[in-house]
Amino acid sequence: MKLIPYESDSPIKVTCGVIFNEDGNVFICRRKQEKSMGGYWEFPGGKVEEGESLQECLKRELLEELDMEVKVNQHLKTVLHDYDTFKIELVAFTCYFQRSSYLMTDHDKYEWVDVSAILEKN
């Protein structure tokens, strides 16, 4: 895997999917404890590799980490965040769930939740 090179003061480009199912619920998953940011809930995604589009990155990461296929709908929001030791540029897309075996490589739990319940997750 070849990631896009970056300078220490340049943000790492990362995608995530806000994935909706047919009931209008949103998919979230919790990072494994031994991973960076372990125990935190997130919208899944990952780092953009050199030469791939943002949408290709998101589809690849979801397939690798969750054996999940989605239809990427549209750009939702881009957020820059400084974690002190590194910066990320997080590009979020709304997606529609297609299928998954819910293989968990980087996560230890997942849930389909009502949008209003997202802020209640710790």
Which CATH number covers residue 38?
3.90.79.10
Check residue 37 and give left, alpha or beta (phi > 0: left; psi -120 to 50: alpha). Answer: left
- Domain-located, residue 75: yes
**Unique residue bearing structure tokens 């895997």:** 1
Q: Which two tokens stand for residue 90?
A: 């997080």
Over residues 63-84, the pLDDT tens digits come to 999 999 999 999 999 999 988 8
Range of the domain at 82: 12-109
Whether 121 is covered by a domain: the verdict is no
Strand ranges inside 2-120, DSSP E: 12-20, 26-31, 41-42, 45-47, 68-82, 87-100, 107-113
Q: How many domains does the chain have?
A: 1
Task: Answer whether 15's CB lies under 8 Å from 54's CB.
Answer: yes
- Write down the number of H helices and E strands in the chain: 1, 7
Q: Is the residue at 105 inside a domain?
A: yes
Residue 1 lies in a domain: no
Identify whether 30 is part of a domain.
yes
- pTM for this structure? 0.87
Scanning the structure block, which residue is given the tokens 């998953």?
29
pLDDT tens-digit profile of 3-58? Answer: 545 445 789 999 999 999 999 999 999 999 988 888 999 999 999 999 999 999 99
Residue 39 lies in a domain: yes
Is residue 5, in this structure, part of any structural domain at all? no
Q: Is 118 a member of any domain?
A: no
